[in-house]
Amino acid sequence: MIIDNLLNKDNLNKEELVYLLGCEGEEKTKLFTKAAEVKAKYIGRKVYFRGLIEMSNICRKNCLYCGIRSGNTNVHRYNLTDDEVIEAAKFAWENRYGSIAIQTGEVSTKEFVDRIENLLDKINKATNHELGITLSLGEQTEETYRRWFNKGAIRYLLRIEASNRELYAKLHPNDKHHDFDERLECLRALRRVGYQVGTGVMIGLPFQTLEHLADDLLWMQEIDVDMVGMGPYVEHPDTPLYQYRDKLLPLTERFNLALKMTALLRILMKDINIAAPTALQAIDPLGREKAIKVGANIVMPNITPGAYRNDYKLYENKPCTDDAADDCKNCLEARIQLTGDEIGYGEHGNSRHFYRRRNDTTI
């Protein structure tokens, strides 16, 4: 069978990836089994937590797909206080999550940059410097990335969203604040500074083809990322892209593609960290568990204080917006146990790929 040969190859080309992205039935089962084997062999059957703190939904950008874009006046804008962020970080630390991820809309004022710098200090003091801190705060200058790195942030997540320049342009306003080359340059700057660099794409976007997705996978391989967070595009009614909702793949199909992308990425990049994105769970209640079974090894339990979660709506049907952090922890623990994987409590769970590319053996 073609599939057996393909899955035993060392490298897959675009045509082969397109074929695999379209496979179903027995072939798909083989793809998923192979991805699970690669994960077990290269990084082990362990899942690490990143307690997700959605610190603010204030954003200067206007991405055409995103519910908290600056042009959406229906959003109640919020900004957590430092104490609220520190409390959430302490919750993660006390519950031995190992890591947190701080995410916001994009803001690049001096006040914001200074605030994050101070906040990193405060979080590290409050948690005995034991948490691995990921930032996902959009495009910033190299100097800003360096200042935050020097205060102890070790990972940075900046999705390219779509690695094809023309597709990227269709998803963003045509102005200097939404420039593809600028985003690429930010990813290079993050790497120069020394972060574990994460990126990713949305899957099932309007105008997107299987060829685009195959190219996304090859692009992530080429830029040699350390971590990836990618998930299905889920439309939001208060966004310009909503007008194309009738042209989209059905949600279940986007979900299916996202699982195949995860499995293929695991086969291509054996020792990187791959997150099981929350957007999967917006479509299927068992979405994240399914991603863990086909190669993902990171989950991001939401630890944003409950009162604000409803306001950080990037897309429709966002799960767990009504739960308190404790509920999320308990439900996730039970769910992960069902996959047969172990949770790496109290460990950073850093990207092995990052250490390997730096010829470093200390993980």
Q: What residues make contact with ligand SAH under the rule CB under 6 A?
A: 59, 65-66, 103, 105-106, 136, 138, 158-159, 161, 202, 233-234, 236, 279, 314-315
Query: Total number of residues binding ligand SF4 (CB under 6 A)?
Result: 9
Q: Which does 155 bind (CB under 5 to 8 A by kind): ligand SAH, ligand SF4, none?
A: none
The token pair at 297 is: 């090894």
| Member of 138, 198, 229, 231 binding ligand SF4 (CB under 6 A) | 138
The CA distance from 144 to 117, in Å, is 9
Q: Which does 236 bind (CB under 5 to 8 A by kind): ligand SF4, ligand SAH, none?
A: ligand SAH
313 near ligand SF4 (CB under 6 A) = no
Which residue lies nearer to ligand SAH by CB, 33 or 70?
A: 70
Q: Which does 69 bind (CB under 5 to 8 A by kind): ligand SF4, ligand SAH, none?
A: ligand SF4
Q: Which does 159 bind (CB under 5 to 8 A by kind): ligand SF4, ligand SAH, none?
A: ligand SAH
Question: Which residue blocks in 45-179 are alpha helix, DSSP H?
Answer: 82-94, 110-126, 142-150, 165-171
143 class by beta-carbon count within 10 Å (0-12 exposed, 13-18 middle, 19+ buried): exposed
- 144, 113 contact by CB (below 8 A): yes
Closest distance to ligand SF4 from the beta carbon of 64 (Å): 9
The token pair at 74 is: 């229906």
Strands 51-56 and 99-104: parallel
Q: Which does 233 bind (CB under 5 to 8 A by kind): ligand SF4, ligand SAH, none?
A: ligand SAH
Q: At what angle do helices 210-223 and 251-268 cross, to 10 degrees?
A: 30
Which residue lies nearer to ligand SF4 by CB, 67 or 295?
A: 67
Closest distance to ligand SAH from the beta carbon of 181 (Å): 16
Build a one-symbol-per-residue string for 31-70: x at contacts with ligand SF4 by CB under 6 A, - elsewhere: ----------------------------x-x-x--x-xx-
Which residue lies nearer to ligand SAH by CB, 244 or 355?
A: 244
Interacting residues of 133 by C-beta distance below 8 A, sequence separation 6+: 99, 100, 101, 102, 120, 123, 124, 152, 153, 154, 155
Closest distance to ligand SF4 from the beta carbon of 5 (Å): 39
Say what the alpha-carbon torsion angle 289, 290, 296, 298 is, to the nearest 10 degrees.
Answer: -20
Which residue lies nearer to ligand SAH by CB, 140 or 351?
A: 140
Could you write out the DSSP letters of every residue in 262-325?
A: HHHHHHHSTTSEEE--HHHHTT-TTHHHHHHHTT--EE--B-S-HHHHTT--SSTT-TTTT--H
Closest distance to ligand SAH from the beta carbon of 104 (Å): 6
The CA distance from 272 to 265, in Å, is 9
Build a one-symbol-per-residue string for 187-226: x at contacts with ligand SF4 by CB under 6 A, - elsewhere: ----------------------------------------
318 near ligand SF4 (CB under 6 A) = no
- 225, 218 contact by CB (below 8 A): no
- 192, 221 contact by CB (below 8 A): no
Which residue lies nearer to ligand SAH by CB, 6 or 55?
A: 55
The token pair at 340 is: 């047969």
Residues in the site for ligand SF4, rule: CB under 6 A? 59, 61, 63, 66, 68-69, 105-106, 138
